[in-house]
């Protein structure tokens, strides 16, 4: 990544943090990555931070202490019931906004930092996932809210399984938000690009977890699950974690992206 030009805000987004190894990698390296890129804002998906399934208040605090300005989540956010009140009390944590509105938390947040106003949006896909509300219409509703908050840099975490659904929402959001990045699969894709109208896009950020694993979990157990089709309980893989995500340069005046590159640490 070249030096940060004037009038550019730089964003780091990090894929799903998986268990203790992921938390350890964040606490050891995220602050120095933020410093080395001169990043202005950092978004981390934390849905697998607590033992691989969901979040606890202490794991959320570890992610924030490591340097995250905003924590997004996904389908696993509901795993630990004790965590649900945190979705209301922490204004810098989001859950997918297209779950029913009566549930705790929200999928939209405005955070001001160093003179810039950032808007975080968290949505979840429906293909091969739970049949919740439409992410396209929920995005439209949030963008009406966003209009009232401008000038603002909007960043969307779209937590979804299907690449076609992710590309579709990316194109739908093009020119209306600065960044739309997919999460959930834990496998980083190499299709990062700035879409024609100025939205930085990647199908999946990847994960912050043990690389020698199957999506951050113990390989032997996952293999047995696949070979036998018996849902043996998955356990966290042991080892050193990598950090996967993106770094995006955003024009502060237009609120649109100039460049995107993948973050792979260690390379
Ligand atoms: Fe995940
Ligand atoms: Fe997920």
Query: For each of the chain's 267 residues, which pLDDT tens digit applies?
Result: 878 888 999 999 999 999 999 999 999 999 999 999 999 999 999 999 999 999 999 999 999 999 999 999 999 999 999 999 999 999 999 999 999 999 999 999 999 999 999 999 999 999 999 999 999 999 999 999 999 988 999 999 999 999 999 999 999 999 999 999 999 999 999 999 999 999 999 999 999 999 999 999 999 999 999 999 999 999 999 999 999 999 999 999 999 999 999 999 996
31 alpha carbon – ligand 2 mean position (Å):
25
What is residue 20's predicted lDDT score, i.e. its pLDDT?
Answer: 96
Cα–Cα dist 245/157, whole Å: 12
Q: pTM score, two decimals?
A: 0.97
Instruction: Give ion ligand 1 contacts, CB < 5 A.
Output: 16, 47-48
Q: Taking phi first (over 0 means left), then psi (-120 to 50 degrees means alpha), and beta for anything else, what does residue 218 get?
A: beta
What is residue 267's predicted lDDT score, i.e. its pLDDT?
Answer: 62
Report which bound ligand comes closest to the CA of 209: 1
Active-site position among 76, 159, 184, 186: 76
47 alpha carbon – ligand 2 mean position (Å):
7
84 alpha carbon – ligand 1 mean position (Å):
17
What is residue 161's predicted lDDT score, i.e. its pLDDT?
Answer: 98
Cα–Cα dist 241/207, whole Å: 9
Cα–Cα dist 110/86, whole Å: 17
For the chain, list the domains and their CATH numbers.
Answer: 8-210+239-265 (3.60.21.10)
Report which bound ligand comes closest to the CA of 18: 1
76 tagged catalytic:
yes
85 alpha carbon – ligand 2 mean position (Å):
20
Q: Is the dihedral of CA 229, 240, 13, 95 positive or negative?
A: positive
Report which bound ligand comes closest to the CA of 52: 1
The distance in angstroms from the start CA to the end CA of the chain is 14
């Amino acid at each position: 990544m070249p030096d940060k030009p004037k009038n550019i805000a730089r964003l780091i987004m990090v894929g799903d943090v998986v268990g203790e190894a992921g938390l350890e990698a964040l606490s050891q390296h995220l602050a120095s990555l933020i410093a080395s890129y001169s990043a202005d804002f950092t978004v981390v998906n934390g849905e697998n931070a607590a033992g691989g399934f969901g979040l606890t208040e202490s794991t959320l605090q570890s992610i924030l202490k490591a340097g995250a300005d905003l924590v997004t989540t996904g389908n696993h956010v509901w795993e630990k019931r004790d965590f649900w009140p945190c979705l209301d009390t922490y204004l810098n944590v989001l859950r997918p906004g297209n779950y029913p509105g009566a549930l705790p938390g929200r999928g939209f947040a405005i955070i001001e930092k160093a003179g810039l106003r950032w808007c975080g949006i968290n949505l979840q896909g429906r293909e091969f996932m739970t049949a919740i509300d439409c992410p396209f219409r929920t995005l439209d509703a949030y963008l009406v809210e966003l209009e009232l908050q401008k000038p603002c840099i909007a960043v969307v975490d779209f937590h979804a399984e299907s690449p076609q659904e992710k590309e579709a929402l990316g194109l739908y959001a093009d020119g209306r938000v600065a960044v739309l990045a997919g999460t959930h699969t834990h496998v980083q894709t190499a299709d990062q690009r700035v879409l024609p109208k100025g939205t930085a896009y990647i199908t999946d950020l990847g994960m912050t977890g043990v690389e020698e694993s199957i999506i951050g979990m113990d390989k032997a157990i996952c293999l047995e699950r696949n070979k036998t089709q018996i849902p043996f309980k998955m356990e966290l893989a042991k080892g050193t974690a990598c950090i996967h995500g993106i770094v995006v340069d955003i024009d502060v005046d237009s609120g649109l992206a100039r460049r995107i590159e993948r973050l792979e640490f260690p390379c």
